[in-house]
Amino acid sequence: MKRREFITLLGGAAAAWPFTARAQRGGKKLPTVGLLGASTRSNWNHWTAAFVRRLGELGWIEGRTVAIEYRWAEGSSERFAEIAAEFVQLKVDVVVTVGSAVAAVKQATSTIPIVFAIAVDPVGTGIVASLARPGGNITGLSTQTADLTGKKIELLRELLPGLRRLATIANIGYAGSVAEIGEVQAAAGKLGLDVIVLGIRRAEDIASAFGSLKSGVQALYVCPDALINANHARINALALGARLPTIHPFRDYLGAQGLMSYGADNVDLFRRTGDYVDKILRGANPSDLPVEQPTKFEFVINLKTAKALGLDVPDKLLALADEVIE
93 and 234 within one domain: no
For residue 1, is it within any domain? Answer: no
DSSP type of residue 127: S
Angle made by CA atoms 247, 224, 49, in degrees to the nearest 5: 105
- Containing structural domain, residue 231: 145-264+298-325
Q: Total structural domains in the chain?
A: 2
Do 47 and 169 belong together in one domain?
no
Q: Could you tell me if 34 and 168 lie in one domain? A: no
93/230 same-domain check: no
Report the CATH number that the domain containing residue 182 is assigned in CATH. Answer: 3.40.50.2300
**Is the domain of 179 the same as that of 235?**
yes
What is the predicted pLDDT for the residue at 60? 98
3-class DSSP assignment, residue 225: coil
Q: Is residue 47 part of a domain?
A: yes
- The per-residue b/e assignment along 279-294, b for 16 or more CB within 10 angstroms, e otherwise, is bbbeeeebbebebbeb
To the question of pTM greater than 0.85 for the whole model, the response is no
Beta bridge partners, 71, equal 36
**Same-domain status, 248 and 151:** yes
Question: CA–CA separation, 165 vs 218, rounded Å?
Answer: 6
Q: If you average pLDDT over residues 274-285, what whole number do you get?
A: 98
Q: What is the mean pLDDT of residues 257-282?
A: 96
Note whether 169 and 192 are same-domain residues.
yes
Residue 169 predicted with pLDDT over 70: yes
Distance CA 90, CA 85 (A): 9
What digits encode the pLDDT tens for the residues 231-244? 999 999 999 999 99
Q: Torsions phi, psi of 162, nearest 5?
A: -90, 15
Q: Is the pLDDT of residue 19 over 70?
A: no
Q: Is residue 3 part of a domain?
A: no
**Is residue 5 domain-resident?**
no
Residue 86 lies in a domain: yes
> Residues 297-304: what's their mean pLDDT?
96
Are both 80 and 213 inside the same structural domain?
no
Amino acid sitting at position 191: L
| Res 281: pLDDT | 98
In this structure, are 321 and 231 located in the same domain? yes
Q: Where are the beta strands (DSSP E) in the chain?
A: 32-37, 67-72, 94-98, 114-118, 138-140, 165-171, 194-200, 219-222, 246-248, 260-264, 297-302, 323-325
111 domain-assigned:
yes
The predicted pLDDT at position 156 comes to: 96
Residue 197, pLDDT above cutoff 50: yes
Please report how many Cα atoms fall inside a 13 Å half-sphere around the Cα of residue 169, on the Cβ side: 33
The pLDDT of residue 26 is above 60: no
Residue 244 within a domain: yes
Q: What percentage of the chain has pLDDT greater than the value 70?
A: 91
Tell me the C-alpha distance between 124 and 199, whole Å.
20
Q: Is 214 found in the same domain as 173?
A: yes
Residue 277 lies in a domain: yes
Residues 176 and 305 in one domain: yes
Whether residues 73 and 170 fall in one domain? no
What local confidence, expressed as pLDDT, does residue 5 receive? 38
**Contacts of residue 170, Cβ cutoff 8 Å, sequence gap at least 6:** 177, 178, 180, 181, 197, 198, 199, 200, 222, 223, 225, 228
84: left (phi over 0), alpha (psi -120 to 50) or beta: alpha
The whole-number pLDDT of residue 27 equals 59
Sheet strands side by side (includes 138-140): 67-72, 32-37, 94-98, 114-118, 138-140
Determine the 3-state secondary structure of 82 from DSSP. helix
100-155: per-residue pLDDT in tens? 999 999 999 999 999 999 998 899 888 999 999 999 999 999 987 667 899 999 99
DSSP H or E segment with residue 50: helix 41-57
